[in-house]
Chains A and B, each alone.
Chain A
């Protein structure tokens, strides 16, 4: 959305939020009327107000309010204007309305999928003491310098109140909290339930890392209760921290792809909408033949199969998928109205990973898909990625180059490769040892990954050499791109635990020529780097 549209959208949501307190007051009055006088008019009025708030709150992004009101609606649906609810139910409803009232008073800070600002995956907020022990100041400065080299923006706060205020409208990738500062009673009273809830709310929705001088059990327990996900002792190792941020960033950017196979177009569009709303890219297909085609090009992370299809049943379809070696591990989830355990067992025996009945809650389905897909992606990437750096394996790179050779044969589109090699490897090894060398390689990979265009594919050539593929790029363009990165890299200081040094790397570039074999092509680049 354009900025002005974004602003307009935010303004609409803000107006809605401002009216929420009136809505709950109206609901409570209406409920009071109904409890004291259970008749048609009062029943219809309260039902209608409940239904409206349940529906609109979800659309404006207040999911928990919507959920609570849906619960009230569900308990109300067991009664009618001439069948009054029992005392216990009335008390339950009243309790739920109070909960909604509390949610509304916190509505300013509620998380929601549609109304909140997107997570800024390059932003990190740090709460730290500015004038305490000098070590702290030093590492924080180092963190800011290092993090900015890897594309992160670090904002530091000295005051928890200011941090919480900023968090109501900005959502960083991670929070780093100086727990000794937070626990300092003179600044903020952590036992005050309002403050505590506010802190918990923000810390739980963000990846929050506490750091402190000591880690006694009570302190750690308090940290966990405040929503802390990781607890580190100072002084922190900056490069470990950057690694952690990189992993986190990757998680946020991971996208999942699903294929849905069902012979009913309506059910297909229902599931397709559901998955699209949950940010899962999907292909909705109605026949097995269509799916066969898509499997190769779309490369799904998960497949949803209808159990009962006329041409070929879901169980048969799953069996055919599993017969093909490359799809041996793709998660398959069956969708069915079938509650029969025998049929479910039969489905599992052909290699289904899960069984979700069509009447199941949408959220349950989405979380099943995300879990299965993310585990599959992890396993897949372990097989094709280098453990140390995260770069793709050499075998995987060869496959990618072969793909590009095929494209070249069909379309004459140029493509290039580049091999990189760290200069003065032996000097680093002699001065600092293998551990630092490994760190240097892993960092170079991150540097390349951050600075190269996302269409470039980075793989492993040898232990200390990378092979980069530039699809649809001639050698001149690839060279210009790499030379720019070479310069930036040389300008970056590399840190060990004790000191800093400058590192550089050399490159060898080759553009594919007609008739070359893949080995000849790679050798051209490898020769140039030497």
Chain B
């Protein structure tokens, strides 16, 4: 174990979702969070913020989740950071595909804001132990 999950980068283009996720992650989860409205901004900020985990929306204009993930994996400073996808279009067999791209887990949307921190901590400890 390298310790608990502290810093999260949330990449999400929808403002309403960022608002409720901010409450969930900061107030309920006590995480320190960097918000990015686009994949581009995430790539620009990831080295400096150095998050423990990246929470990435799948459907975004311009650069979608998959493109962002691929670009992150190409960055030496970010390629080791676990990425968790958030998507409404998830079926069990698609997970294999996301995994092959390098995501560690997929959170189905809509997620429950009250449960999100718990889910992330579970993913984090599974990732640490695995």
Contact = CB atoms under 8 A, between A and B. Distances in A.
Interface string B91-130: 1110110110000111111111111001100110010001
The number of chain A residues touching the other chain, given as a range, is 35 or more
A264 interface: yes
20 contacts: A9-B114, A12-B19, A12-B20, A16-B19, A16-B20, A55-B17, A56-B14, A58-B88, A59-B111, A59-B113, A60-B20, A63-B110, A114-B112, A264-B95, A264-B96, A266-B96, A270-B106, A276-B115, A276-B119, A358-B91
A8 B109 contact: no
B49 interface: no
Contacts of B122: 269, 272-273
B37 to A, nearest CB: 12
B14 A52 contact: yes
B93 to A, nearest CB: 6
A263 to B, nearest CB: 12
A11 to B, nearest CB: 9
B110 to A, nearest CB: 3
Nearest to A16: B16
A152 B96 CA distance: 50
B80 to A, nearest CB: 18
A16 B13 CA distance: 16
Contacts of A60: 16, 20
A522 interface: no
A274 B111 CA distance: 9
B88 A54 contact: yes
A274 B20 CA distance: 20
Contact of B92 (A1, A8, A44, A358): A358
Interface residues of B, number: 38
B50 to A, nearest CB: 24
Given A9-B113, A48-B61, A276-B118, A358 B93 contact: yes
B84 to A, nearest CB: 10
B70 interface: no
Interface in B5-31: 13-14, 16-17, 19-20, 23, 27-28
The 7 closest A-B pairs by CB, nearest first: A58-B110, A358-B92, A56-B16, A59-B110, A266-B95, A359-B91, A52-B14
B16 A277 contact: no
Nearest to A23: B16
Contacts of B67: none
B63 interface: no
A55 B108 CA distance: 11
A362 interface: yes
A270 B61 contact: no
A113 B112 contact: yes
Determine the main DSSP class of A at the interface with B.
Answer: helix
B95 A273 contact: no
Interface in A326-384: 335, 337, 358-359, 362
A235 interface: no
Contacts of B91: 358-359
Given A56-B14, A59-B20, A277 B112 contact: yes
Nearest to B57: A55
B75 interface: no
Given A1-B28, A5-B27, A270-B90, 4 more contacts: A56-B14, A58-B110, A59-B111, A267-B95
B115 A277 contact: yes
A460 interface: no
B88 A265 contact: no
Contacts of B108: 270, 273-274, 277, 362
Nearest to B14: A52
B59 interface: yes
